[in-house]
Structure 1
């Protein structure tokens, strides 16, 4: 049995349409240039539904099948993004409306992950889910967090997008890339 760190690292999320992705990427670049926090650029703009987990490379096909069947049970829905918020002292994000379809999708996906431990190795503590799109974290200093939050706390951001697929993202050692997408309701 190989060590857990030799297994590929994945997470499941939803990614907005290309126009909105570009708008959010611009914000991430602004945060990088102004507040010296670039870590969020290692993944496309997304809302995490299932935190990073590792699985054996030979279980990837089974994981794909399971997520495909799971996604088919849910209909597409709209997600609203509304302003900015924080997880002090390092995270600044675009806030996401906790709509019933989004919260249910996340809850059921987490239940699935916990029930299929051999595929997901999902040992995270249960905690309330707060959907968000990260702009800055990890490499944002506390001083820059306070400076950035002073700027973003009253800034407007009012967008929405249709969630019509789940994305499985895989870490390639440097960044997160979409490995496979699973259409909702198909």
Structure 2
């Protein structure tokens, strides 16, 4: 399993891990603690491990065509779909990030034959705080607190990350520098 993401700086990442830990301690869901803080650009997919080098090389070339940019986090949100409970930190909309996502999706479809179901154009950038093991009753207790809770952070994105699941956790397989400088 692989996926493509943006990672916050170490400082912001530590703040997000602290938020996840506090949420887990107060409400119970622990699964999100297993996943490093990130903004998903391409949802997890399976691929032949023999393609790893090609993915790394091509993503590095793709990243060179993208300029570094700022990401702003502000407050908390959730998806309207009650079947799939997720509580997250909002990522403020940015045309730069949206354009990068569109170009990445087109790139994956063209270079690696990703289907429209796998490489989706719909994009709601967010940083997950709780999901998978977040039960309705836990969500219903937490959401009134988080709905208006304040949190703000800004970080510069200089890299795109290609991650692989090693059977236990996600690890960075390739760090691709934006702008190629």
TM-score when scaled to structure 2?
Answer: 0.92
Instruction: Choose the corresponding residue for 2:161, options 162, 167, 171.
Output: 167
Moved more, 82-91 or 98-107: 82-91
Does the C-alpha gap of structure 1 residues 80 and 18 become closer, same or farther in structure 2, counting only changes over 3 Å?
Answer: same
Unaligned runs of 5+ in 2: none
When the two structures are aligned, how many residues end up with a matched partner? 177
Instruction: Choose the corresponding residue for 1:154, options 148, 155, 161.
Output: 148
Instruction: Choose the corresponding residue for 2:62, options 62, 65, 70.
Output: 70
Contact 1:113 1:122 survives alignment (8 Å): no
The alignment partner of 1:185 has SS state of: helix
Superposed CA offset, 1:77-120 (max 9, x none): 001101100014311000001101100111111111122345x5
**Match status 1:95 vs 2:87:** no
Runs of 4+ in 1 over 4 A off after TM superposition: none
**Match status 1:56 vs 2:51:** no
Q: 1:155 Cα shift?
A: 0.5
When the two chains are superposed, the root-mean-square deviation of aligned CA atoms in Å is 1.5
TM-score when scaled to structure 1?
Answer: 0.90
**Match status 1:43 vs 2:40:** no
Superposed CA offset, 1:127-166 (max 9, x none): 5210000000010000101111111011011111000000
